[in-house]
Amino acid sequence: MKSFKESLANAKNILILTGSGISAESGIPTFRGAGGFWRTYLAQSLATPHAFKSNPSLVWEFYEFRRNGAAKVQPNKAHEAIANFELRLTREGKNVTVVTQNIDGLHQRAGTKNIIELHGSLYKTRCTKCEDIEINHTIPICPALDGKCSPDPDAMTSDIPIEELPKCKKNSCDGLLRPHITWFGESLDADVLDKAEQAVETCDACLIIGTSSMVYPAAMFAPRVAERGIPVAEFNIEETDATRKFQYHFQGPCTATVPEALA
């Protein structure tokens, strides 16, 4: 830890990559492994364009559950440590960029400013008709979804009519809204990916926090940094397939290791 903190002190352009593990310590489900079901559905099977086209009501119920859950939890000590670190280094004329795979908004709520959300946000919508993107923190997002997001396996989908699901209000468009999230089978937003790539290529220190390093292209970001000889520190509850590629590995809860590293 002392060696890494010395490397960090000399860095001027720090990249912080975060995944579901950091938010899991706030109580956000990761939907991976044995806990990967919502009702009787494999959660990942609902995060697809095909699922939304087939049953937009069911998909919106799932995402209303996620929006509601994320809104009820609080940023943890790791989120707060990152936000405080960014504030301190910004005052020193240095740059901190957080590139996150998470969609829960906890980094923003902790106070972090320079964030690249690779996969979108639970609190943004995109119109399927006019493509307008809006921020929306209203819960429920529409009256028809009120009380309809139970994760109970015995709960039945409500089959809410499309006209009662979230609709676009821009210029009387009235198109069906979808979560502004990159689903399985979709490409990352090109502008977002370009910004992330720039952060990867220009950093002189890197922290990778709470990610399994299995989801691409994000899984390749930290290894690419390490290949340039830049110090990379992995913070995770366990080792990953990428651990051997990094100079540092700090095992344990992010809420303990990250605040120590960034203090």
**Cβ–Cβ < 8 Å for 51, 59:** yes
User: Has 119 been annotated as catalytic?
Assistant: yes
The stretch 214-218 carries a mean pLDDT of 75
248 DSSP 8-state letter: E
User: Hey, is 188 helix, strand or coil?
Assistant: coil
Flag whether the pTM goes above 0.85.
yes
pLDDT digits (tens, 9 = 90+) for 93-135: 999 999 999 999 999 999 999 999 999 999 999 999 999 999 9
Q: Which residue has the tokens 């004329």?
A: 93
Check 79, 119, 180, 249 and give the catalytic one.
Answer: 119
User: Could you give the CA distance from residue 223 to residue 64 in angstroms, rounded to a whole number?
Assistant: 35
Count of positions (residues) in the chain: 263
Q: Per-residue pLDDT for 215 more than 90? A: no
Q: Which residue has the tokens 């119920």?
A: 61
pLDDT given at position 33: 52
From the number of C-beta atoms within 10 Å of its C-beta (0-12, 13-18, 19+), residue 111 rates as middle
Q: Which amino acid is at 61?
A: E
